[in-house]
Each structure stands twice: as C-alpha cells, then as structure tokens.
Amino acid sequence: MGQDIREEAKRRAAERAVEFLKDGQIVGLGTGSTAIFAIRAIGRLVREGLKIRGVPTSVDTARCATELGIPLVDLNETCSVDITIDGADQIDGRFDMIKGGGGALVREKLVAHVTEREVIVVDPSKPVATLGGSCPVPVEVLPFGWCLAARLLAKLGCTPSLRQRNGQSFVSDNGNYIVDCEFGDISDPGYLERSIKELPGVVETGLFVGLAHTLIVGTESGADVTQRFR
Ligand code: 5RP
C-alpha cells in the first residue's frame, strides 16, 4: 500500500470514528498520525457546535486540540471517559494491541482504562494474526537504572534497545525513557504484560490487553467497523 493511500485509509478510519461522538461526552484524544485525523475532525465539529470535552493522551495532542479550539479537561477532574479514539501499532483478532510507537503509552493506557468505549483507528497494515513479530513492544522505564530494567527485560526473552531521538535518549512526556523490546511472536500477550510490569524500574508496557471495544480499519474506499466479541 502506497503512503498516500495509507494516509487516506487513516483519515477514513478516524473520520468514521468521530461519527460516534455525542453532545456532552468526555472524549479521550489519542496520539499519533491516525488519531490526529480524528482530532482535526473533532475540531471541525466543535466549531460547528458539538459540545464535548477532551482528555488528551500526550502533550502534542493537548497542544493540537487547544489550537483547534477543543475544550480540555484534566483526567483527575473527570476520572471517567465516555469514548476514546486512538491508534495502534498492531492489533490482533482479540483486539489486544501493541501501542506506544509515538511514546505516549502511559497516558494512553490510563485513559483507555477509564474509557467506556475505546475505539481504535488504523490503516490495513496494523491488524495481525499474532502480536509481535518484527514490531517491538515499547516499555516505559525510569531513567534511573534503566540499564538494569533493560537487562531484566532481555531475560524475558527480548532484544531491548533504548529509544533514541536526534542522537539523544528519547524522553517521554512523563520524563522517562522507552526501551523497545523485540520479542518475536507473542503467544500470550496478557502473561507477557504482567511479567513486564513486575520488573523494577518499569513504569508501563505498550501491551494493551482487553482494553479496545471497537476497531475501525480504513480501506481504499471506506472504513470497516468491528465490535469486540464479549
Ligand atoms: C502512540 C501510539 C499510536 O497510537 C501508535 O503508535 C500508532 O500511531 P500511528 O497512528 O501514527 O501509526 O500508541 O503512543
């Protein structure tokens, strides 16, 4: 799939998701190149009179939403979210996911946990039969002793690498580092998520298990909507 077609697929998925929004809702605003299409569409709807308040999942998303005139609310003030629209790096048939390619996994997971309906918007390259393969699992770790956390992660069976940006260690919105962990095929995402979370120095993992409710895959001509089988 060419880059232009992929961008169109992302836009279609995101704009389909925005059709679920209703007046009065608290809306989780995802992070990434697919979620941004939803944020722009929400901005247009807000200018046309839609009354929602957004909970951003990253500093970038907060800045963008503010520029577009979307009113924001702090997660501590609301503690619950009606609907969230977010992207994913991979999603499998049970709607388990790898997220955090954009480095926003901690806030994305917190928001997903308190969301009534988590809507995931992706292009057709993201759905997979089995999570992992060549897609690493991002793990946010404390900068203090990150090397030890990386060594412990390697003992779980991955090849860890500290994420870099412009020749420096990537720093998340929470002031932490991200270790990208290549596990190959992941047979039990829930078990792996729990095993990673037990390690000292780990803040959060990019494995999102049981958190998504609706998947929207943009295609060349439209968007396919699937609900998670409960
Ligand atoms: C950011 C994320 C993104 O949702 C994920 O990386 C997908 O991004 P994109 O839509 O740009 O492919 O988890 O932390």
Nearest CA to ligand 1 atom 8: 32
> Is the pTM value of this prediction over 0.85?
yes
Radius of gyration of the chain (CA): 17
**Which atom of ligand 1 is nearest to 104's Cα?**
14
Three-state DSSP at 225 gives strand
**Ligand 1 centroid distance, CA of 122 (Å):** 9
Of residues 166, 30, 13, the one with CA closest to residue 105? 30
- Pocket probe for ligand 1: among 12, 31, 170, the residue whose CB has the most ligand atoms within 8 Å is 31
Task: Please report the DSSP string for 128-176 in residue order.
Answer: -SSS-TTSPEEEEE-STTHHHHHHHHHHTT-EEEE-EETTEE---TTS-
Of residues 100, 126, 85, the one with CA closest to residue 204? 100
- Residue 3 confidence (pLDDT): 81
Annotated catalytic residue, options 108, 118, 140, 193: 108
**Ligand 1 centroid distance, CA of 157 (Å):** 24
87 in Cβ contact with 30 (< 8 Å):
yes
Torsions phi, psi for 197 (to 5 deg) = -65, -25
- Residue 1 confidence (pLDDT): 72
**Ligand 1 centroid distance, CA of 99 (Å):** 6
Pseudo-torsion of CA 159, 154, 193, 106, nearest 10°?
Answer: -70
Q: Distance (Å, rounded) from C-alpha 158 to C-alpha 169?
A: 20
Mean pLDDT by 10 residues, the chain (230 residues): 89 98 98 98 98 98 98 95 98 98 98 98 98 98 98 98 97 98 98 98 98 96 88
- Residue 4 confidence (pLDDT): 87
- Residue 46 confidence (pLDDT): 98
Residues within a 6 A CB radius of ligand 1? 30-35, 86-89, 99-105, 108
**Ligand 1 centroid distance, CA of 31 (Å):** 6
Residue where the block lists tokens 């925005």 = 18
- Residue 230 confidence (pLDDT): 55
Ranges of beta strands (E only) in 58-125 are: 81-86, 90-91, 97-98, 115-122
Residue 193 a catalytic site member = no
Residue 184, sorted as left (phi over 0), alpha (psi -120 to 50) or beta, turns out to be left
Nearest CA to ligand 1 atom 10: 34
Residue 208, sorted as left (phi over 0), alpha (psi -120 to 50) or beta, turns out to be beta
- Reported as type and span, the H/E element at residue 54 is strand 53-56
- Pocket probe for ligand 1: among 1, 33, 135, 170, the residue whose CB has the most ligand atoms within 8 Å is 33
**Ligand 1 centroid distance, CA of 24 (Å):** 27
**What's the angle, vertex CA 123, arms to CA 47 and CA 188, rounded to 5?**
120
Across the beta sheet with 159-162, the strand order is: 159-162, 177-182, 137-141, 202-205
Residue 39, sorted as left (phi over 0), alpha (psi -120 to 50) or beta, turns out to be alpha
